[in-house]
Amino acid sequence: MPAQTTSGFKTDDYLMVALAVIIGCGLLYAIILAVKTPSPFVKGNWSTLIENFQASPKEFYVSVERAIASRQVPDINKSRVDWKEGGLFTAFREYLRISREKLVFDICAAPYGTGFFISWWLAELRPSAIGPTLVVLGIVFLLYDRLAFYFGFATASIYTLIGLILIVLLLGILVNRSPGANWVRYVLVIPLIGKMIERFFMPPTYYRMDTEAMFKASIEQSVKEVLNQMLQAKGLRALTELELKPIMRDFFQK
């Protein structure tokens, strides 16, 4: 028979209330996600405006994708994303996104007056921690509530801690095997848990930092190659190394 408190509420009643709260928070979080994209932490960017030059942004994106494919860059994902030009109800602009693990390259190509504008942004996407944190709190609460029902509060506390440690270890193993999966970003923003997983399962080794540098260089070279080919096809001079030099912001800072 379920335990009953002095106020007349049964344990199952509290469970239903907790589930309702979690579901409500989940719906609120879904609404937030619908109107807000993950915040980018910019690590570097580059841009140029080529005067008296016109081209198709879509053709430029396709050419960049081909240049990247010819380099056989491993463990990357390609997609098209729409970034708002401002706040709510403003227009969108399409970008070509090349992502690997936590890093993304958002490449923009667009006509501007009589010229053609090209830019790229290297960033680390950081989703809101609200949703993932609510999920973890909900799991901990439900685990503790069920264990307390059968074993009592003191024993339930110990078992809940053990269960939480096992969950973190399982998540760490899954993150280590699928570092480029989209869901990994949401795990890494969970307070404390995300830092522990990143520290023990995704440490900043020389190999990881070298691989990030190779990824960055490959995408940069692909954009440069396509742009210079388009310029030379129109009889214009290629951009110099100085003109192609990006602005970096502590690329290896964690």
DSSP 200-232: HHS---HHHHHHHHHHHHHHHHHHHHHHHHHHH
Report CA Rg, the chain. Answer: 24
Contacts of 230 (CB under 8 A, 6+ apart): 55, 60, 63
Single-letter amino acid code for the residue at 121: W
Contacts of 241 (CB under 8 A, 6+ apart): none
Q: How many other C-beta atoms are found inside a 10 Å radius of the C-beta of residue 179?
A: 16
- Give the SS3 label for residue 109: strand
The count of C-alpha atoms lying within 13 angstroms of the C-alpha of 65, restricted to the half-sphere facing its C-beta, is: 14
84 strand-pairing partners:
92
Tell me if 136 sits within 8 A of 2, measured CB to CB.
no
Short-list 36, 35, 32, 19, CA closest to 135: 19
* Stated pTM of the model: 0.74
Tell me if 109 sits within 8 A of 118, measured CB to CB.
yes
pLDDT attached to residue 30: 60
Contacts of 244 (CB under 8 A, 6+ apart): 46, 220, 224
* Domain chopping of the chain, boundaries: 38-254
- The rounded distance, in Å, linking the Cα atoms of 157 and 228 is 63
Phi, psi of 115 (to 5 degrees): -110, -175
- Whole-Å CA distances, 248 to 18, 42, 81, 253: 46, 9, 23, 11
pLDDT profile of the chain (254 residues), mean per 10? 48 62 64 58 92 94 97 94 74 90 93 95 87 84 84 89 93 88 88 92 91 95 95 90 79 51
pLDDT attached to residue 12: 58
pLDDT attached to residue 138: 83
pLDDT attached to residue 13: 61
- The rounded distance, in Å, linking the Cα atoms of 21 and 17 is 6
